[in-house]
C-alpha cells in the first residue's frame, strides 16, 4: 500500500515552482525566436560575419533584439544595425 502525503503549503510551493518554470521556458523561447528573426532578416539583407552571429546568439535581452530587428529593416549596413 502506498501512502500519499498531501499538504496545501507543499502543493502551493510545487505549483509556484511549476509556474515559474513555465514562465522561464516561455521567456527563453521568446529570446530564441527573436534571435532567429534577427539573424534571418540580417541574412536576407547582408553577408553576416561570424562575430555578428555570435553577438546575436549571445544576446538575452528581447528589447535589444527587437531594436536590432527594427533597425535591420531599413539599415544600409550592419554598422547601422549595431550602433548603440
The distance in angstroms from the start CA to the end CA of the chain is: 65
Average pLDDT of the chain, as a whole number: 84
Which three cell numbers, joined as nine digits, stand for 44?
536576407
pLDDT tens-place string over residues 25-49: 555 558 899 999 999 999 999 999 9
pTM of the predicted structure, to 2 decimals:
0.68
Other CB atoms closer than 10 Å to residue 72's CB: what's the count? 21
Amino acid at each position: 500500500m502506498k501512502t500519499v502525503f498531501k499538504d496545501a503549503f507543499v502543493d502551493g510551493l510545487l505549483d509556484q515552482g511549476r509556474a515559474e518554470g513555465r514562465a522561464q521556458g516561455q521567456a527563453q523561447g521568446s529570446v530564441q525566436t527573436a534571435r532567429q528573426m534577427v539573424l534571418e532578416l540580417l541574412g536576407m539583407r547582408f553577408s553576416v560575419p561570424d562575430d555578428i552571429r555570435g553577438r546575436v546568439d549571445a544576446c538575452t535581452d528581447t528589447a535589444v533584439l527587437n531594436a536590432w530587428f527594427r533597425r535591420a529593416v531599413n539599415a544600409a549596413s550592419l554598422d547601422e544595425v549595431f550602433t548603440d
